[in-house]
Amino acid sequence: MENKEKSSACLYWLWAWLIIAAVSGVPVGQSAYRNLLETNIAARHRLIVQYELWSAHPKMTAKPQAWARLASRLLTDNQLMNRVRIVHPNNAEQIELDYRRDLSITQGLALAKYLLPWALALALIYGAGWWLLRPRKPAPPPKIVPVSYHDPRYRE
């Protein structure tokens, strides 16, 4: 294959790989985002139940479990931290640090669950294409054997 043909094949391969990455990244991204939202809701629910944050809501008439399910979906992390400061004023700072740390770890794991297999598959596809189109050393020129003066074929 000539050098120009080789570079155009590499360019087509690169574009094909980028299109595959973009097309396959959309559903993976959507699934990862949904999982991230569910992880956030579960973390908020654990915070509410663990520290009984429904007691900070003066007009609560429902059961604590119902309030926890509803509040974990409606309230933001900052709003929940304000309630933690009301219910547990002495430990609020440590509770917030622990919650943020645990939330970061669980969010990272939730994203890694979807993005790592996708990235590994793309790396394998890219590696296979690179291996097939990699620059190779040209074949060595044929060895020229010097003509021997003693060879009977060349005698007159």
Tokens representing residue 20 in the block: 């595959």
> What is the structure's pLDDT at 120?
95
> What is the structure's pLDDT at 154?
65
Tokens representing residue 91 in the block: 């430990």
Helices within the chain (DSSP H only): 3-51, 64-74, 77-87, 92-133
DSSP secondary structure letters along 140-156:
PPPPPPPPPTT-GGG--
Tokens representing residue 119 in the block: 């990235």
Per-residue pLDDT reduced to its tens digit, 130-156: 888 777 778 888 887 766 666 677 666
> What is the structure's pLDDT at 1?
47
Every domain of the chain and the residues it spans: 3-154
- The segments of the chain whose pLDDT lies below 50 read 1
Q: Would the pTM of this model clear 0.85, i.e. be above it?
A: no
